Amino acid sequence: MAAALVTGVAVHYGGNKGDVPANTKTMTYIVAPGESEWSIIEQYDKRDDPRKARDWIDQRNGLTSDELQPGQELVIPVGR
């Protein structure tokens, strides 16, 4: 079971990136060994289409690769 260190919860207001609403609640997430964007989204984002959350995470965090590194900080959407 992977553990994450939540460093804060914030509300992001901005453009709709990846079809995630502009008023989406976000949190900073620390990637644990072996985690992927999909496993993180599965835990924290409850939208009907997780691809939208993945696109948002990629854009918000400037990701250009599917590979995440342990200890990497990501801003992720939470909730619905």
Query: pLDDT digits over 2-50, tens only?
Result: 444 444 444 443 444 455 666 778 999 999 999 999 999 999 988 778 8
Positive or negative, the Cα torsion across 58, 71, 47, 39?
Answer: positive
pLDDT of amino acid 46? 80
Count the neighbouring beta carbons within 10 Å of the beta carbon of residue 52: 19
Q: How many domains does the chain have?
A: 1
Task: Answer yes or no: pTM beyond 0.75.
Answer: no
- 15 lies in some domain: yes
Asked if residues 74 and 65 have their Cβ atoms less than 8 Å apart, the reply is no
Q: Name the residue range of residue 69's domain.
A: 6-77
- 39 lies in some domain: yes
- 58 lies in some domain: yes
Q: How far apart are CA 4 and CA 2, in angstroms?
A: 7
